[in-house]
Amino acid sequence: MSGVRIVEVSPRDGLQNESVRLTTAQKAELVERAVGFGARNVEVTSFVHPGKVPAMADAEDLMASLPARDGVAYSALILNERGLDRAIAAGVSEVNAVIHCTDTFSRRNQGTDIDGGVQIWHNIARTARAAGVTANLTVAVAFGCPFEGEVPLDRLRSIVSRVLEEPPAELSLADTIGVAVPVAVRERVAVAAELVTSGTALRAHFHDTRNCGIANALTAVEAGVSILDASLGGIGGCPFAPNATGNIATEDLAYALERSGIDHGLDTVALQEAGDWLEALFGRRLPAGVLHAGGFPTPSPVSN
Amino acid sequence: MSGVRIVEVSPRDGLQNESVRLTTAQKAELVERAVGFGARNVEVTSFVHPGKVPAMADAEDLMASLPARDGVAYSALILNERGLDRAIAAGVSEVNAVIHCTDTFSRRNQGTDIDGGVQIWHNIARTARAAGVTANLTVAVAFGCPFEGEVPLDRLRSIVSRVLEEPPAELSLADTIGVAVPVAVRERVAVAAELVTSGTALRAHFHDTRNCGIANALTAVEAGVSILDASLGGIGGCPFAPNATGNIATEDLAYALERSGIDHGLDTVALQEAGDWLEALFGRRLPAGVLHAGGFPTPSPVSN
């Protein structure tokens, strides 16, 4: 195993569902700390309707405040061509677009059905290419939908096959609502792996809603995924909406990878400091286990 | 996969570290609810020094209050011959003894080193057999020690080999401090599987301290473990001691097994009710994810 790249998504997926609202300057510090602990791709914001996701209304201001750094990509989530236009205008070099695996979820999140979502992706891919912007694609609710329940494997195969007519730089399978288990991850990553060509890297995105997130992440890596999303402290989800919970925690993922002998490239001391800072900023206990328990114990024999 | 038996350990491992102190009657209700959601082995208490574990001081009273039920074992943890004598006198039919993988942890928990622990187990096994009591053995800190750090694989092999001179009914590998990851589980369960004979079933015990507990549990099953410990609500650990956290949650384990196509024999509706009851009793949010998020969503298409 040559290593896994962790995409730090706390500024976007972590913050969009939190009751705690950070200022643009605080978000910039979060991004800065993520770069400081070694993240080379930080999903910093989303260019979506500010009325629908108020926490991301400062997308342009945040982008403008981030210093350019060699080897660091500040990526942004988009849902449609309008979002792409805004991202390009803001100088974003890498975008994460989304396709959904059920019509119901797609209509609610993207305002169109699956077929419409495929068309949006094709449009985004072409426009991004012309603009010199890297375009990734997330296949959302790939493991189950809160409205429709099971997502048939054949439907996933069909969706992946159709979106790959315009291959993304990274194709991500997302367990948007945290229902996946390892056998499903193995099965669904295999479907994606069969279909992608060499120019597309496999990525995955897990929530720890049912405490299966790290199990799913490690299984995804075994199945060929080389890029994983994670969120500092495991933030995300709203204390007032018990069904929404955070991404897998960057701290826990780094621990699990490291103890599995898989390189992750992060500085765990700086990571711990960043998590402590974020927890203090939030003023509540964050879900990351390693943040509180620490890493593997170093020997300290005591006299008896 | 023919199925996994889940041992409900919340009355013992769950409660011994909690700041919330239940009455004997409340513990009996917890046991009753565990039987109600389908647990066929409930670790109800420990016969240890009441000065060291005050929460278990009512071991005899609790045992006396539990109704005998066909097909249900109320098991108890013991650390030495004195504990076994108490358990036998209290009418316990199944005991869980402990051996530790480091001298430092063993001295602190059992008052003797590893060699002394092996001798204690041999004594316990013989006395239990003579008394007609089933004796299981937990190999504690099998994945790492808070004082000594790494536990060499050869030492684990040596310990397991020596304790098997008196084979337990169940041999459990325990990640006492929640440091394990799946590669370690695969490796260490394989060692145990090589050494046990057909009369000894493999069991495992995980804590979710670093959010790797379900990953470890599923890996253990793949590696040949047929019995897993879990705790209703994921209770355990003390809010005032952030390094101590609970067992894997029964709710989350049942979910992960079920979605993996592995039978667990529990009634998930009764399990949910028991978790809701326990959370109300504790008056704080318990760690079990499924307790709050629910199981896999059932289809409920909405009109758009």
C-alpha distance from residue A85 to each of A1, A12, A81, A128, B238 (Å):
38, 18, 6, 9, 51
Task: Tell me whether residues B297 and A252 touch, CB distance under 8 A.
Answer: no
Q: What is the pLDDT of residue A17?
A: 79
Which of A145, A260, A294 has the CB atom closest to B183's CB atom?
A260
Give the C-alpha separation, A264 to A3, whole Å: 6
Pick among A155, A208, A211 to test the B interface (most B CBs inside 10 A): A211
d(CA A61, nearest CA chain B) in Å:
34
Which of A149, A178, A294 has the CB atom closest to B293's CB atom?
A178
d(CA B183, nearest CA chain A) in Å:
6
Task: Tell me whether residues B214 and A218 touch, CB distance under 8 A.
Answer: no
Per-residue tokens: B5: 């038996």
User: What are the sequence ranges of the domains in chain A?
Assistant: 5-293
Per-residue tokens: B200: 């000894």
Instruction: Tell the residue number behind the tokens 């988009």, with chain if given.
Output: A78
Residues B114-127: tens digit of each pLDDT:
999 999 999 999 99
Residues B281-303: tens digit of each pLDDT:
999 999 999 999 999 998 865 54
Task: Tell me whether residues A289 and B252 touch, CB distance under 8 A.
Answer: no
Instruction: Tell the residue number behind the tokens 């301290």, with chain if given.
Output: B209
Give the C-alpha separation, A232 to A210, whole Å: 18
Rg of chain A (C-alpha set): 18
Residues B129-143: tens digit of each pLDDT:
999 999 999 999 999
Active site residue B238: yes
Give the C-alpha separation, B199 to B45, whole Å: 25
B-contacting residues of A 238-297, CB under 8 Å? 242-243, 245, 248-249, 252, 255-256, 259-261, 287-290, 292-294, 296-297
d(CA B147, nearest CA chain A) in Å:
5
Task: Tell me whether residues A145 and B297 touch, CB distance under 8 A.
Answer: yes
Which CATH class for the B5-293 domain? alpha beta
Q: Name chain A contacts of B259, Cβ cutoff 8 Å.
A: 179, 181, 183-184
Q: With 90 as the cut, is the pLDDT of residue B19 above it?
A: no
B-contacting residues of A 73-132, CB under 8 Å? 104, 107-108
Q: With 90 as the cut, is the pLDDT of residue B17 above it?
A: no
User: Are the beta carbons of B231 and B39 closer than 8 angstroms?
Assistant: no
Which of A147, A292, A296 has the CB atom closest to B302's CB atom?
A147
Q: How far apart are the first and last CA of chain B?
A: 42
In this structure, what is the dihedral angle of CA atoms B204, B87, B251, A239, given to the nearest 10 degrees?
-110
Search chain A and give the residue with CA nearest B112. A304
Strands A170-175, B5-8: pairing kind: unpaired
B-contacting residues of A 223-242, CB under 8 Å? 234, 242
Search chain B and give the residue with CA nearest A181. B256
State the number of CA atoms in the 13 A half-sphere of B238 facing the CB. Answer: 8
Query: A212 CB contacts (<8 Å, ≥6 apart)?
Result: A178, A180, A181, A182, A206, B214, B215, B252, B255, B256, B289
Each residue's pLDDT tens digit in chain A (304 positions)? 579 999 999 999 889 878 889 999 999 999 999 999 999 999 999 999 998 899 999 999 999 999 999 999 999 999 999 999 999 999 999 999 999 999 999 999 999 999 999 999 999 999 999 999 999 999 999 999 999 999 999 999 999 999 999 999 999 999 999 999 999 999 999 999 999 999 999 999 999 999 999 999 999 999 999 999 999 999 986 544 556 689 999 999 999 999 999 999 999 999 999 999 999 999 999 999 999 999 999 886 554 4
**How long a stretch of residues is chain A?**
304
Per-residue tokens: B26: 């409340």
- Residues of A with catalytic roles: 238
- Assign residue B94 a region (left: φ > 0; alpha: ψ between -120 and 50; beta: otherwise): beta
Give the C-alpha separation, B202 to B172, whole Å: 6
DSSP classification of residue B13: I
d(CA A179, nearest CA chain B) in Å:
6
Greatest alpha-carbon span in chain B: 70
Q: Which residues of B196-210 are buried (b: 16+ CB within 10 A; e: fewer)?
A: beeebbbbbbbbbbb
Complex prediction ipTM = 0.95
In this structure, what is the dihedral angle of CA atoms B204, B118, B99, B223, given to the nearest 10 degrees?
-20
State the number of CA atoms in the 13 A half-sphere of A240 facing the CB. Answer: 4
